[in-house]
Structure formats: structure tokens, C-alpha cells
């Protein structure tokens, strides 16, 4: 079956530091890949997505590239801010147009804390 | 606000009682999903609807759980004879029909359930 593995957390950084959160996946076919962010007490917000190999998703300074050869979708940001403190989830969807689209498989989440 | 709306946001109930959560998806989104998230974990898929048809149910959805979407608009998730293990956040999400714009799933803020 499908699975997503995120790096062990939590991650603690100082403001303006470089961020990498690793994500690898196992899936058949060509899944779509997502990063979601969850702020305390809130639901999930889509941060970025990529639907095919070598696509780069980007938003709010965050980037992730869909690497099929390494089955990875690592999240990066060049300079984090205190406001980026949240839980980050990597997720995959079986395919972009099939009937199972939206049946997301999530990683366990990575807690990011950014200090001033 | 045109996002996915869930209520109640918080529910505390005694073991053995029934609870019902409601989800109003984004207007014109014909797909609706329910997920469950326990503390420290990523969300887990429960079920999804396309219009009023329930197309898939996870084995996590025991017989005590029932979801409906009677007119293809809002949905309800009912848990009968609640158990302490049901304590979790129940997330609803929606997406448009698959296609060029159909590959983003939008989540609500979730409904927290505490069974005491």
C-alpha cells in the first residue's frame, strides 16, 4: 500500500535559519504529492503541491521538488520566521484524476519551532 | 467565509452517548472527505462522497460510525455508543470534480471530540 515517511522531529531553529524537512514515499503509479501545514488548534492548510515528476511546488518561500528517482518530496525554506512555527505534513494522493483522488495518505507530521 | 465549515468545533461527551458532526463543503465541490486525526499523528482517511454517493469507506470506519450526504451538499458523521478511543479530531475536506482544477483538497478546521 501507499505510505509516507517524514523525518523525525521536532525541529527547532533560530529565525532566518535554513529549513529542510525530509519526506519519502512509497506508492504505485504516479501519485500527486502535497505539503500541508497545521497551526495550533486549527485544521490543515495546503502549503504546496506537485502532480508529476520534477515538478516544483512553491508557496510563501517554501519549496519542494517531486523526485521520482528517489521517491522524495523534501520541504525547504531559505529563511524561516517565527510565524512558520507549526506542524508540517507530507501527503500523497494516488493519482490526479482517478476515483481515489483525495484519499490522502499522510506522514506522521514534523513539529517546527522557530525562535527569535 | 467560503471555506469548509465544520461544527461543532468541540464536543465533550460521556462514553456510550451518540454524537453527530456536520460539514459544509466549499460551494460546488462535489467531493467530500472525512478524516480522523489523533494527537501526534497525521490524519487518516475514513470515507468520501462524490455528490450523495458514498464511494469508499476505510476499515477504520466501524459499524458505530455512519456518514451521510443526503443532497450532495452538507455531510454528517455520526458516532454511536462512543468509546474513549474515539477521542480525536474529525476533519472534513472537499474538492471539485477531478480535472484541471480538481487536484486540491481543502480542509476544514476540524471537530474535536473528547469522550470521558
Higher pLDDT, B97 or B3: B3
Q: What pLDDT is stored for residue B72 in this prediction?
A: 85
Q: Would you call A105 and B45 a contact, using CB atoms and an 8 Å cutoff?
A: yes
Close Cβ partners of A89 (under 8 Å, ≥ 6 residues apart): A6, A35, A36, A37, A38, A44, A106, A107, A109, A110, B42, B43
Q: Record the cell numbers describing residue A20, joined without a space.
A: 529542510
Minimum-distance CB partner of A43 among B55, B98, B108? B108
Q: Which chain A residue shows the shortest CA-CA distance from B97?
A: A97
Span B60-89, pLDDT tens digits: 889 999 999 998 899 999 999 999 999 999
Report the chain B residue with the minimal C-alpha distance to residue A96. Answer: B103
Q: Is B101 helix (H, G, I), strand (E, B) or coil?
A: coil
Residue B25 pLDDT: 95
Query: What is the arithmetic mean of pLDDT over A19-34?
Result: 92
pLDDT exceeds 60 at position A73: yes
Strands of A15-94 (E only): list them: 19-21, 23-26, 32-38, 44-50, 56-59, 62-65, 75-77, 86-93
Confidence of residue B101 (pLDDT cuts 50, 70, 90): very low
Contact B78, B35 (CB under 8 A): no
Percent of chain B whose predicted confidence (pLDDT) is above 90: 70
The highest-confidence range among A6-10, A40-44, A100-104, B110-114, by mean pLDDT, is B110-114
pLDDT over 90, % of chain A = 74
Contacts of A93 in chain B (CB under 8 A): 103, 105
| Chain centroid offset of residue B48 CA | 9
Chain A interface includes B40 (CB < 8 A): yes
CA distance, residue B19 to nearest chain A CA (Å): 20
Question: For residue B35, is pLDDT > 60?
Answer: yes
* CA nearest neighbour of A108 among A12, A33, A36, A20: A36
Spatial distance between the Cα atoms of A48 and A35, rounded to a whole number of angstroms: 5
pLDDT for position A99: 59
Cβ-based contacts of A103 with chain B (< 8 Å): 33, 45, 48, 56
**Residue range B23-32, pLDDT digits in tens:** 999 988 889 9
- Mean pLDDT over each residue of chain A, to the nearest integer: 91
Mean pLDDT score of chain B: 91
Chosen from B4, B30, B42, B108 to mutate, greatest number of chain A CBs within 10 A: B42
**Which residues does residue B114 pair with via DSSP β-bridges, in sequence order?**
B12
Determine contact: B25 vs chain A, CB below 8 A: no
Q: Could you report the per-residue pLDDT of A100-114, keeping only the tens digit for each?
A: 667 899 999 999 999
**Chain A residue numbers touching B91 (CB-CB < 8 A):** 43-44
Nearest chain B residue to A49 by CA: give it: B104
What pLDDT sits at residue A97? 55
In this prediction, residue A101 carries a pLDDT of 65
Q: Contacts by B25-28 with C-beta closer than 8 Å and gap 24+?
A: B25/B73, B25/B74, B25/B75, B25/B92, B25/B94, B26/B2, B26/B94, B26/B106, B27/B2, B28/B96
Amino acid at each position: 500500500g501507499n505510505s509516507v515517511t517524514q523525518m523525525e522531529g521536532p525541529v527547532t531553529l533560530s529565525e532566518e535559519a535554513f529549513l529542510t524537512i525530509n519526506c519519502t514515499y512509497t506508492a504505485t503509479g504516479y501519485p500527486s504529492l502535497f505539503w500541508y501545514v497545521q497551526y495550533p488548534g486549527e485544521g490543515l492548510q495546503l502549503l504546496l503541491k506537485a502532480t508529476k515528476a520534477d515538478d516544483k511546488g512553491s508557496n510563501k518561500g517554501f519549496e519542494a521538488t517531486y523526485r521520482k528517482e528517489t521517491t522524495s518530496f523534501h520541504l525547504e525554506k531559505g529563511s524561516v520566521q517565527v510565524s512558520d512555527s507549526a506542524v508540517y505534513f507530507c501527503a500523497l494522493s494516488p493519482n490526479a484524476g482517478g476515483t481515489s483522488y483525495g484519499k490522502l495518505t499522510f506522514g506522521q507530521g514534523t513539529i517546527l519551532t522557530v525562535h527569535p | 467565509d467560503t471555506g469548509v465549515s465544520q461544527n461543532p468545533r468541540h464536543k465533550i461527551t460521556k462514553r456510550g452517548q451518540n454524537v453527530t458532526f456536520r460539514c459544509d463543503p466549499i460551494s460546488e465541490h462535489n467531493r467530500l472527505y472525512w478524516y480522523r486525526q489523533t494527537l501526534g499523528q497525521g490524519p487518516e482517511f475514513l470515507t468520501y462522497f462524490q455528490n450523495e454517493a458514498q464511494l469508499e469507506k476505510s476499515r477504520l470506519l466501524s459499524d458505530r460510525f455512519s456518514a451521510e450526504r443526503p443532497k450532495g451538499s452538507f455531510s454528517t458523521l455520526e458516532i454511536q455508543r462512543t468509546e474513549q478511543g474515539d477521542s480525536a479530531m474529525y476533519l472534513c475536506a472537499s474538492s471539485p470534480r477531478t480535472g484541471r482544477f480538481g487536484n486540491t483538497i481543502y480542509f476544514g478546521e476540524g471537530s474535536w471530540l473528547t469522550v470521558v
